[in-house]
Chains A and B, each alone.
Chain A
Amino acid sequence: MIEVKDLKKNFGDKEVLKGVNVTMEAGKCNLIIGASGSGKTVFMKCLVGLFQPDEGQIMYSKVNYTEMDDEQRKGIRKEIGMLFQGSALFDSQTVEQNILFPLDMFTKDSQATKMKRVNEVLDRVKLKDVNKKFPAELSGGMKKRVGIARAIVLNPKYLFCDEPNSGLDPQTSLVIDKLIKEITIEYNITTIVNTHDMNSVMEIGDHIIYMHQGLKEWEGTNKEIIFSKNEKLNEFIFASEFLKDAKDMRMLEETGKIDNDRNMDEMIK
């Protein structure tokens, strides 16, 4: 579990995070959504320790991460896996070497044991015959899966995913989403996903945090988000007519009525 208390971060005069309070639960996919510039990337970078917050606390399983120095943080960092937007695979290393790297660095297991683990995680992300390939030889979706494999190879307690679906087609995005969800349940980890993708929100959003101008504007589940009355959230989620239609259809299905002034007859036609 990760608890964030009154987190603030400024860059010069610009207030990016203005006091965020949130709790991310274990075994759940916690999604951070929000428009560009709402502070969600800075929030995630503060959580993993790439940015030092100006005020507030980040508690990893009741341990205050913000007050630790780099040496003390190493212990918690070993429990963190992260999937980056661009996958961040090491270009000069093969897929196998990329996944072996954390094992080589932090374990004293035999080479055979490490290789067994590499093949296990590659199987888990449903990748075959790519061990000797370099990242440049892989598709975007495959790179993301290798990124996930590298992130989970040390059995982390926390998995961070920054825009896991950016640059992927809807079908591959779905595969990645399902993989993240399955891994979260299987390993009982606290997963935090930073995303713009509304499909992901509906598919895997056990706990959704909507950020607006550096503050948590709304939080809830993927069931609740459809019926939310929060104007800013609705403006963000249902930005297109297509999505507005989809929302109304869903409301109609579930409640038998819609609570706005749109012409339903026209929509049903």
Chain B
Amino acid sequence: MTLFTEFGRYLLMIKGMFSKPENGKMYWKEFMHQCGEIGIGSLGIVVLISFFIGAVSTLQTAYQLVSPIIPKSTIAQIVRDTIILEFAPTLVCIVLAGVIGSKIASELGNMRVSEQIDALEIMGINTKAYLVMPKILAALLTIPMLIILAGALGIWGGRLAGTVSGILSPQEFDTGLLSSFVPYNVFFALIKAYTFAFIISSISAFYGYHVNGGALEIGRASTKSVVVSCIAILFADYILSQLLLST
């Protein structure tokens, strides 16, 4: 299948999601279920990686800033901006592409192979709207929240690592943290978070929904969804940086 055919099918899937729900309550229930699965389900890994990313960035930034004329508070500034601009949205979303993406692709793939999607279709339910739409909306709601949390935890992890290792005092870190803060960076991080959330959920749903074959194909769809999501995230990251950060 060519790239264009695949992209066309992806667009058709997105288009097919927009229809009047058969029963709003059931769609809401499914949306809330997906919020739990995607948001709460990935909370642990996000907390863990963001804390350590922050800690490692502080240590590595301090290692590279050897000049005595640069104040130590600069470390906090660099850590803050790196985490907000790149680490929290991009790195966390790449991890989420693995966690959430493979889960969505294998769940839908299994439903396709075991004819559960056909069963829903025959009942008269728009499966793209009922199965795919709530996943995308739940990702759009919960992933930006996870990114905000990742940013805060990353900075806190960096502060803790800097203090514990004696690189800089908490006061020095706080001074750096508050100086030259650009609120636009947070807005940029949120734009990235929404874009990546859509990429992760829609691409993995696409590969899962269109599984054709057996158990082996589910595994392949899951792997492919993670790989394609990661590439799309990095590509979108570059485009967004070029569009929104270039002076």
A positions within 8 Å CB-CB of B? 48-50, 70-71, 73-75, 77-78, 80, 82, 84-86, 88-91, 102, 104-106, 160
Query: Which residues on the B side are within 8 Å of A70 (C-beta)?
Result: 19, 126
28 contacting pairs across A/B (C-beta < 8 A) = A50-B118, A50-B121, A50-B122, A70-B19, A70-B126, A74-B22, A74-B124, A77-B122, A77-B123, A77-B124, A82-B119, A84-B118, A84-B119, A85-B115, A88-B114, A88-B116, A88-B118, A88-B119, A89-B116, A91-B110, A91-B114, A91-B116, A104-B26, A105-B22, A105-B23, A105-B26, A106-B23, A106-B123
Q: Is the CB of B62 closer than 8 A to any CB of chain A?
A: no
Q: Which residue of B lies closest to A81 (CB)?
A: B122
User: Is B47 close to A, CB under 8 A?
Assistant: no
Q: Is B125 an interface residue (CB 8 A)?
A: yes
User: Which of B19, B110, B123 is in CB contact (< 8 Å) with A102?
Assistant: B123
In the bound complex, what is the Cα–Cα distance between A115 and B110 (angstroms)? 28
A86 B122 Cβ-Cβ under 8 A? no
Are A86 and B119 in contact (CB-based, < 8 A)? no
Partner of A90, one of B25, B26, B116: B116
The residue of chain A having its C-beta at the shortest distance from the C-beta of B117 within the complex is A88
- Smallest beta-carbon distance A80→chain B, Å: 6
Interface contact B121-A105, CB-CB below 8 Å: no
The residue from B115, B118, B125 contacting A105, defined by CB atoms under 8 A apart:
B125
Which residues of chain A have C-beta atoms less than 8 A from B119's C-beta? 82, 84, 88
Instruction: Mark contacts of B117-145 with chain A using CB atoms, 8 A cut-off: 1 yes-contact digit, 0 otherwise.
Output: 01101111110000000000000000000
* Chain A residue contacts of B25, Cβ below 8 A: 104
Specify which of B22, B23, B115, B121 is in contact with A86 (CB 8 Å cutoff): B115
Q: Chain B residues with Cβ under 8 A from A48's Cβ?
A: 122
Residues 84-127 of B contacting A (Cβ, < 8 Å): 110, 114-116, 118-119, 121-126
Q: Which of B8-63 contact A (CB under 8 A)?
A: 19, 22-23, 25-26
* B residues in contact with A160, CB < 8 Å: 122
A167 to chain B, nearest CB (A): 14
Check A84/B124 contact, CB under 8 A, given A74-B22, A91-B110. no
A49 in contact with B122 (CB, 8 Å): yes
- In angstroms, how far is the closest chain B Cβ from the Cβ of A154? 8
Complex formed: what's the CA distance from A89 to B114 in Å? 8
Contacts A86-B115, A91-B114 given: A104-B23 contact, CB under 8 Å?
yes
Q: Which residue of B lies closest to A108 (CB)?
A: B23
Question: In this complex, which of B19, B26, B118, B126 has the most chain A Cβ atoms within 10 angstroms of its Cβ?
Answer: B118
Q: Which residues of A contact B22 (CB under 8 A)?
A: 74, 105-106
Taken together as a complex, chains A and B put the C-alpha atoms of A82 and B114 apart, in Å, by 14
Nearest opposing residue in chain B for A154, CB measure: B123
Set of chain A residues within 8 Å of B122, measured between Cβ atoms: 48-50, 77, 80, 82, 160
Name which residue of chain A comes closest to B122, CB basis: A82
Cβ–Cβ contact B19 & A71, under 8 A:
yes
Q: How far in angstroms is the closest Cβ of chain B from A253?
A: 42
Q: Determine how close the nearest CB of chain A comes to the CB of B63; give it in whole angstroms.
A: 48
Give the 6 A-B residue pairs with the shortest CB-CB distance, closest first. Answer: A77-B124, A88-B115, A88-B119, A74-B124, A84-B115, A82-B122
Return the contact of B123 from the options A86, A89, A105 (Cβ within 8 A).
A105
Distance from A139 Cβ to chain B, minimum over Cβ atoms (Å): 17
Closest B residue to A77 using CB positions: B124
**B26 to chain A: which residues have CB within 8 Å?**
104-105
Cβ–Cβ < 8 Å partners of A105 in chain B: 22-23, 26, 123, 125
Q: Tell me, rounded to whole Å, the shortest Cβ–Cβ distance linking A4 to chain B.
A: 17
Q: Which residues of A contact B114 (CB under 8 A)?
A: 86, 88, 91
* Chain A residues in 8 Å Cβ range of B115: 84-86, 88
Shortest CB-to-CB span from B8 to chain A, Å, is 17
CA distance A85 to B119 in the complex (A): 11
Minimum CB–CB distance for B88 against chain A, Å: 32
Smallest CB–CB gap between B103 and chain A, Å? 13
Q: Which residues of A contact B118 (CB under 8 A)?
A: 50, 84, 88
Specify which chain B residues have a CB less than 8 angstroms from the CB of A91 in the assembled complex.
110, 114, 116
Q: Which residues of the other chain, B, contact A102 by a CB distance below 8 angstroms?
A: 123
Residues of chain A with a CB closer than 8 A to B121's CB: 49-50, 77
Complex Cα gap A71–B125 (Å): 10
